[in-house]
């Protein structure tokens, strides 16, 4: 699959029709509908609505968060535009968030359906499946910005600290999840000031951002070509405010 995606991106001779043929053959088209927002606009065609700069995407996210913090959310008619959204999606940011029920990215950024491509996993870490979703959003939906979103009092990071300190053994598949967060705890333990949990949460976000920036073949290339930017934020459960880290 990655070869197919990589080839379509790297070959400038590939036309939109070729891309659609590849997509149909791989089943990607049925997932995305007819939206190929990453295609350069054809002559006479308006650019897709998410063709904004990474800096503008970040600005829009942070302005939405300001409205959320002040409890001044935009009024929304959720049924308006539903039929149009069934034809295509043009998200302007991808968010890799923790699964914590108290963190809701669409609310925290005051965005409606179709605007954010959201992936969630407890501890907001990158694994191959989530990376594939991000690759899809960047290459095929034209997303210009990725944010890794951690949050204060994260139970997954707290569990990783407890496992490291007490050698506790967690049940089920949880050891794998905690194992993904452990490097952030080990890095945070070297920081002498501040709270270990807060430091580990920020380290985890920064670590995942670094991993994404260096994740071949798609995300790394889009990042180094400056087609996208990647940043990390921590959502404060008590205030709703997101601080970039
Ligand atoms: Zn969490």
Asked if 232 contacts 58 with a C-beta cutoff of 8 angstroms, the reply is no
Sign of the CA dihedral running 92, 143, 229, 160: positive
CA distance 1 to 135: 11
CA of 99 to the centre of ligand 1 (A): 6
CA of 151 to the centre of ligand 1 (A): 6
Whole-model pTM: value is 0.84
Q: What is the pLDDT of residues 27-65, one digit of tens each?
A: 454 444 444 444 555 677 889 999 999 999 999 999 999
Task: Look up residue 95 and give its two tokens.
Answer: 């968010």
Q: Is 195 helix (H, G, I), strand (E, B) or coil?
A: coil
CA of 122 to the centre of ligand 1 (A): 5
The helix (run of H) or strand (run of E) holding residue 119 is strand 116-120
CA of 158 to the centre of ligand 1 (A): 9
CA of 136 to the centre of ligand 1 (A): 24
Asked if 240 contacts 221 with a C-beta cutoff of 8 angstroms, the reply is no
Burial class of 199 by CB neighbour count within 10 A (0 to 12, 13 to 18, 19+):
buried
Q: What is the pLDDT of residues 189-245, one digit of tens each?
A: 998 899 999 999 999 999 999 999 999 999 999 999 999 999 999 999 999 999 999
Q: What is the largest CA-CA distance in the chain?
A: 64
């Amino acid at each position: 699959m990655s070869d197919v995606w990589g080839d379509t991106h790297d070959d400038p001779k590939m036309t939109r029709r070729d891309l659609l043929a590849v997509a149909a053959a791989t089943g990607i088209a049925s997932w995305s509908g007819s939206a190929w927002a990453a295609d350069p606009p054809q002559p006479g065609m308006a650019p897709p609505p998410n063709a904004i700069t990474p800096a503008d995407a970040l600005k829009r996210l942070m302005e939405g968060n300001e409205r959320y913090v002040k409890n001044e959310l935009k009024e929304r008619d959720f049924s308006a535009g539903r039929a149009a959204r069934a034809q295509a999606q043009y998200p302007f940011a991808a968010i890799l968030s923790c699964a914590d029920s108290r963190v809701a990215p669409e609310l925290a950024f005051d965005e409606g359906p179709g605007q954010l491509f959201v992936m969630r996993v407890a501890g907001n870490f990158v694994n191959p499946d989530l990376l594939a979703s991000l690759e899809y959003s960047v290459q095929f939906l034209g997303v210009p910005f990725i944010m890794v979103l951690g949050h204060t009092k994260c139970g997954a990071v707290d569990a990783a600290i407890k496992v490291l300190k007490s050698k506790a053994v967690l049940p089920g598949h949880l050891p794998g999840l905690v194992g993904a967060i452990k490097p952030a705890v080990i890095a945070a333990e070297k920081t002498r000031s501040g709270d270990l949990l807060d430091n580990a949460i920020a380290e985890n976000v920064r670590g995942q951002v670094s991993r994404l920036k260096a994740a071949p073949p798609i995300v790394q290339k889009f990042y180094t070509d400056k087609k996208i930017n990647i940043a990390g934020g921590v959502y404060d459960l008590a205030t709703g405010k997101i601080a970039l880290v």
